[in-house]
Amino acid sequence: MTDTGFGPYGTPAPPPPVAPKRRLRTGAMAGTAAAVALAAGLGLGHVAWSTGSPSVAASGASSSQSTGSGSTASSIAAKVDPGLVDIDTTLGYSQEEAAGTGIVLTSNGEILTNNHVIDGATTISVTDVGNGKTYSASVVGYDKTKDVAVLQLHGASGLQTATIDTSTASVGETVVGVGNAGGTGGTPSAAGGTVTALNQSITASDEGDGTSEQLTGLIETNANIQAGDSGGSLVNSAGQVIGMDTAASSGTSFQSAGESSGYEGYAIPIGEATTLAKEIEAGDSSSTIHIGTTAFLGVEIQAAGDGFGNEASNGATVAGVITDSPAQEAGLADGDTITSVNGHTVDSPTALSSLLSPDKPGDKVTIGWTDSSGLTHTATVTLSSGPPQ
């Protein structure tokens, strides 16, 4: 896939702070019954964490209380903690930091996480909970449409892997969401709850940059999944991973038609996530699976439409250009509107990303655009290597 800048469709970035601040990815997700938010938080975020120390409990119960099966959430989480990692990224072009969680798949450091945890990362640092060591990491590949990514730690060996249970979850069974809530690191948080529904579909959109994605087949839980938990484990009472924490309600509670108010979190079934991970590890690229480094044009694109996938058909407006990027070398500037790629019409930010997504670093593409005075331009650029999207 081709990264078009700070993120595929971001709104103009604020002036860089003196020191990068840890931020929340808080985008809204619209499902049939409720609005939910990407749980990895601390991602490309445009909203600072402002709710104080995150709770590690579901539905108001502390993590030390019973989950309903006679075991505490914390004791269940302790079984899986050593098979998790904390993921910290630098989003170099927007001067922000991000944090999430990952699941250890192999003893030599293959890590499963959400794509949105590493979206836009220029550097990735991973701390293994089991041994306390910190490693640099590279992106093996990702499937943006399924929100799955695989990392490889550099120089890792002897890591404790997570115990996986790929059998189908059951509504009502006890679960615990485990992860790096709030991006604080250290002992993972533990949020107890139950499975409330299966095979759920949601539309996930980031209110900061206007991107959206359809996620299907999800496990729904009332465990209080927090920002920073994305890529972490949803585990059963035996401490086996049954899902990868991915999304959560944007508010603390809400009431859907015909339902009582409460908390909703979502996890990708671990069988689906690990199947994709194996394809990525095998280098099996496809129309949705990207392997290796990401091609980079170097523009930030202004969000279009209402944030729920409804975009105006007026091209892709440039909100920023990365210094020394292919876009800058071609002459693109703030306020320009990209209208074509290789002769194909660009009528929205999504269309731009779709047209560039098959390309690799080093590929040449012809970009057409209209500048702020209405003049048209074309230029052939060589895409460089950039952060994953």
- Type of residue at 3: D
230 is catalytic: yes
Strands 316-321 and 337-341 come out as antiparallel
Q: Which of 63, 74, 230, 348 is catalytic?
A: 230
Indicate left, alpha or beta for 286 from its phi (over 0: left) and psi (-120 to 50: alpha): beta
3-state secondary structure of 252: coil
Please name the helix (run of DSSP H) or strand (run of DSSP E) that holds residue 152, with its range, or none.
strand 148-153
Task: Read off the tokens for 205.
Answer: 């959109």
The owner of tokens 């809530």 is: 181
Q: Which of 116, 189, 348, 353 is catalytic?
A: 116
Q: What CA–CA distance (Å, rounded) separates 24 from 73?
A: 25
Q: Which of 147, 209, 229, 245 is catalytic?
A: 147
| CA 15 to the chain's CA centroid | 24
Report in angstroms the alpha-carbon separations of 354 from 103, 111, 229, 328, 340: 29, 27, 29, 21, 12
Please name the helix (run of DSSP H) or strand (run of DSSP E) that holds residue 77, with its range, or none.
helix 73-80
Q: For 179-243, give the DSSP string.
A: E-GGG--SSPEEEEEEEEEEEEEEEEE-TTT--EEEEEEEEEE-S---TT-TT-EEEETTS-EEE
Q: What CA–CA distance (Å, rounded) separates 36 from 16?
A: 28
Residues 6+ apart with CB under 8 A from 216: 199, 200, 201
- Asked if 193 contacts 176 with a C-beta cutoff of 8 angstroms, the reply is yes
Strands 265-269 and 241-249 come out as antiparallel
- Asked if 76 contacts 67 with a C-beta cutoff of 8 angstroms, the reply is yes
116 is catalytic: yes
Helices within 226-358 (DSSP H only): 270-281, 326-330, 349-356
Cite the active site residues: 116, 147, 230
